[in-house]
Amino acid sequence: MNEAKKGIGDRYQEETKYSRDGMKIYSTGVFERTEQYKQYPDTAKVLPLPHVKPAAGADFWDTLMQRRSHRDFSSAALSRDELALLIFATQGLTDEESQNMFRAAPSAGALYPIETYVFANRVETIDPGIYHLNIAEQTLELLRPGDCGRALTIAALGQAMVSTGAATFIWTAIAGRSKWKYHERAYRYIYLDAGHIGQNLYLAATALGLGCCTIGAFFDSQVNDIIGIDGENETAVYLGAVGKKH
């Protein structure tokens, strides 16, 4: 392909390739390592997540065969335990003694650039609103109380499942957590990390008999505004709606 005709995606792939002749590092400077996880210490409401296990283990291979994208949800609420299990499957700590705080989904270099926010729409004992997952404390921090379903639907290009679902996961990336080590190639790993997390949500939802559909099409700046992030140091990369199936 003519270099002049290459789009930004093609150029990015080319300029971040590793080869035996040497690893190209295209960078605008030296990146400082950012905080390992994010916290909102001034939030007015913090909800502890229950430590729960499924009542009966689902067969892994059956779960893989049954996994589908479900966009049509009933009006039934998730239980707090169900939400806790979904959160654990996506970003739960599996080795709290490790300095890296290993989690249920893998991450390049154990750097974990993905942050988790949840729009709790219909979850038993949890008031509607946007919550942030405090990974170290395993708590939900209330950032924006109230029904944000309409705003999220508009931001998600009119995909109503984010407001009809019982909960919508919003995953963001803090690129600085990865760029200090991987420079511009870090974005490859960030999106892979998000994909691992999204698949874990699918599998956990399927194992619990819930419906799930992930979303990559949304107006970035609108989603960023809804959860209150700047869109530069931290930006939305992926959504996932979950609910009870009809």
Could you read off the pLDDT of 9-21 as tens digits, one per residue?
999 999 999 988 7
The model's confidence at residue 43, banded by pLDDT at 50, 70 and 90, is: confident
* Total count of residues recorded for the chain: 246
Q: Please tell me the predicted confidence (pLDDT) of residue 25.
A: 58
Taking the C-alpha atoms of residue 218 and residue 241, their distance in angstroms, rounded to an integer, is: 13
Query: pTM of the full predicted structure?
Result: 0.93
Tell me the average pLDDT across 187-214: 97
Q: Please tell me the predicted confidence (pLDDT) of residue 94.
A: 92
List, for residues 164-192, the tens digit of each pLDDT value.
Answer: 999 999 999 999 999 999 999 999 999 99
Q: Please tell me the predicted confidence (pLDDT) of residue 231.
A: 97
Q: Which residues contact 15 (CB under 8 A, 6 or more apart)?
A: 24, 26, 184
> Quick one: how far is CA 85 from the chain centroid?
15
Question: Which residue from 105, 95, 64, 139 is spatially nearest to 238, judged by alpha carbons?
Answer: 105
The model's confidence at residue 98, banded by pLDDT at 50, 70 and 90, is: confident
Show the domains of the chain with their CATH numbers. Answer: 44-244 (3.40.109.10)
Taking the C-alpha atoms of residue 88 and residue 116, their distance in angstroms, rounded to an integer, is: 11
Phi-psi region of 216 (alpha: psi -120 to 50; beta: other; left: phi over 0): alpha
Has residue 1 got a pLDDT over 80? no
CA angle 73, 75, 78 (to 5 degrees): 85
What value does the mean pLDDT of the chain take? 93
